[in-house]
Chains A and B, each alone.
Chain A
């Protein structure tokens, strides 16, 4: 009798487990299928957009009307961005596609720049036309490779979820085992590798001066090279800690970034919980940023005291003529942005952020990389048009609440003098920039009001 009950219990257990297993399996299948369908869709969109890109580039090259050319270029730009977005959704993180991605980014930048010239713009120069032809040839190649791959995915038993699985195993490899990384094992990986290899065989067109470089390098800070001890001294002076009071500083790293810098770590006193870090540029010995990690108590100071603390800090550290341009409060601190002001003109490239702790108003952070790189006394030209003339260029539906002259930095690191108009439309604030030389409206920005207060 007891044995029969034991059998019964066992049989029930088997059935229950079987059902749970079956259920888990079918759910996993369902989830995998969903992911697979998403990947299929993303890939087919990449194929479609790269194909359309090649077509639009061709149209732009042959069209006789400037308007048509610009329309084709704008469409090409849209297709490029969509193709990039599709690539970002595929599980190909471990497959090297950097040439292809660089290509798409260059095409995006090129087509965007050319399509934005406006009705007054000139047609394509011979050089631009040649670049357009090169890019089109490359796009046609990419489209063909992708279509071929798409075909083999559709006809064969290739699944993106397999690519994903492979990518995950590759990603999980430890670096010492990387040498075992053999040839790509599935069709998708192989196809993408062929695309990438083919793309590397095309010469990169010379974009110098046509589009901003993809990876901009900050200009070097002028001045002599300093050593680690000098960096420690500069960092100590900047943070206000002194060796006499037990503060200890040491260079914990040299960072080969732009600009190259020493990272100084300061322990304010023996056994202190707080620490400070300062990045000091190797050339010129300028403080790029400072950060003090110390506990922040409940807020207790007034808003004006916060700004005054930041201003006093800048004045003490040799930053003259700084004007507040923004403020963002968060988590018991306030980050206040300042820009250099030269004869009433705001110089946006010379920009610093000062972080003030709202418990006692001490400055516990400073970010001034841009200021240190770009700051100089500029020889500002007189504006070619008056402020009233510039104001007439602003859309009359906006009500202008404030205006001033400002120096703006573009993607080529060129500085332009602009009239900056702060405008109101309903609840929205816009910043409108009118070129002070040509009177052209160069940019309209919507001021983001959440969390950031413009001054």
Chain B
């Protein structure tokens, strides 16, 4: 019987050691740093939070990439016009006193875009969203000057009722 308990304790000890080692390796501490993937992701995020792009004209390709990603994640499956409209909302916010004055500022404002909060924005964007972003930057605004939009079928902000309706495109309702 005592032999059994001894075996039991030995097994537990080995398991504890193995799990601890696995844990440390996985969280990267065994190598003194995060593993490659985690590190890259982290650097990118802090870079985006810190970089200050004063105007949409600056660092054009970076802003375009960001806009395309938001459009892709927020308006997947929407009609093309609805995708351009999402891009236009981002640009309309730049000139609105209640929003930050840079494209990254607008996009990374906490809880401003669901796709950013959930991380969907980091999935590879659809190619059509690049054209939609470019069209919005070239001046098309199918949203009619909107600064908000929401999908009435999904969860939404309670203050939506206080905004004035402009137009519905696909599943999104655009508001001022």
Q: Which residues of chain A are within 8 angstroms of B140 by Cβ–Cβ distance?
A: 289, 291, 353, 365, 367
Look across to chain B and name the residue whose beta carbon is closest to the beta carbon of A289: B140
Question: Which of A101, A167, A258 contacts B97 (CB under 8 A)?
Answer: A101
Q: Write the nearest CB–CB distance from B134 to chain A, whole angstroms.
A: 4
A94 in contact with B8 (CB, 8 Å): no
Q: Which residues of chain A are within 8 angstroms of B97 by Cβ–Cβ distance?
A: 101-102, 104-106, 214-215
Number of interchain pairs (Cβ within 8 Å): 153
Look across to chain B and name the residue whose beta carbon is closest to the beta carbon of A367: B139
Check A427 for interface membership: any CB of B closer than 8 A. no
B15 in contact with A164 (CB, 8 Å): no
Q: Which residues of chain B are within 8 angstroms of A289 by Cβ–Cβ distance?
A: 140-141
B127 in contact with A293 (CB, 8 Å): no
- Interface membership of chain B positions 77-106, coded 1 if the CB is closer than 8 angstroms to chain A and 0 otherwise: 001110010000000000011111100010
B19 in contact with A16 (CB, 8 Å): yes
B105 in contact with A85 (CB, 8 Å): yes
Check B130 for interface membership: any CB of A closer than 8 A. yes
Check A385 for interface membership: any CB of B closer than 8 A. no
Q: Which residues of chain A are within 8 angstroms of B101 by Cβ–Cβ distance?
A: 81, 84-85
Q: Which residues of chain B are within 8 angstroms of A89 by Cβ–Cβ distance?
A: 109-110
The answer for the CA separation of A227 and B152 in the assembled complex, in Å, is 30
- Interface membership of chain A positions 281-296, coded 1 if the CB is closer than 8 angstroms to chain B and 0 otherwise: 0000000010101000
Check A173 for interface membership: any CB of B closer than 8 A. yes
The answer for the CA separation of A359 and B16 in the assembled complex, in Å, is 65
Check A15 for interface membership: any CB of B closer than 8 A. yes
Look across to chain B and name the residue whose beta carbon is closest to the beta carbon of A87: B100
A174 in contact with B109 (CB, 8 Å): no
Q: Which residues of chain B are within 8 angstroms of A450 by Cβ–Cβ distance?
A: 60-61
Look across to chain A and name the residue whose beta carbon is closest to the beta carbon of B64: A451
Question: Which of B11, B81, B110, B139 contacts A91 (CB under 8 A)?
Answer: B110
Residue among B144, B158, B160, B166 with the most chain A CB within 10 A? B158
B15 in contact with A15 (CB, 8 Å): yes
Q: Write the nearest CB–CB distance from A269 to chain B, whole angstroms.
A: 19
The answer for the CA separation of A81 and B97 in the assembled complex, in Å, is 11
Residues A174 and B156 in contact in the complex (CB < 8 Å), given A85-B100, A451-B60: yes
Check B48 for interface membership: any CB of A closer than 8 A. no
Q: Which residues of chain A are within 8 angstroms of B134 by Cβ–Cβ distance?
A: 328, 330-331, 335
B57 in contact with A88 (CB, 8 Å): no
Q: Which residues of chain B are within 8 angstroms of A101 by Cβ–Cβ distance?
A: 97-98
Q: Write the nearest CB–CB distance from A84 to chain B, whole angstroms.
A: 7
- Interface membership of chain B positions 55-78, coded 1 if the CB is closer than 8 angstroms to chain A and 0 otherwise: 001101100100000000000000
Question: Which of A97, A291, A331 contacts B130 (CB under 8 A)?
Answer: A331
- Interface membership of chain A positions 276-320, coded 1 if the CB is closer than 8 angstroms to chain B and 0 otherwise: 010100000000010101000000000000000000000000000
The answer for the CA separation of A177 and B156 in the assembled complex, in Å, is 10
The answer for the CA separation of A214 and B134 in the assembled complex, in Å, is 26
Question: Which of A11, A91, A178, A258 contacts B145 (CB under 8 A)?
Answer: A258
B100 in contact with A88 (CB, 8 Å): yes
Check A256 for interface membership: any CB of B closer than 8 A. yes
Interface hits, B1-52 → A, CB 8 Å:
4, 8, 11-12, 15-16, 19-20, 23, 27
**Cβ-closest 4 pairs across A and B:** A105-B97, A178-B158, A257-B144, A93-B111
List 9 additional A-B contacts (Cβ < 8 Å) besides A93-B109, A93-B111, A335-B135. Answer: A16-B15, A19-B19, A89-B109, A97-B98, A102-B97, A170-B157, A178-B161, A253-B167, A451-B64
Interface residues of B (CB under 8 A from A): 4, 8, 11-12, 15-16, 19-20, 23, 27, 57-58, 60-61, 64, 79-81, 84, 96-101, 105, 109-112, 117, 127, 130-131, 134-135, 138-142, 144-145, 152, 155-161, 164, 166-168, 176
13 contacts between A and B (CB under 8 A): A16-B19, A85-B100, A89-B110, A91-B111, A102-B97, A257-B144, A291-B135, A330-B134, A331-B134, A333-B131, A355-B135, A448-B60, A450-B60
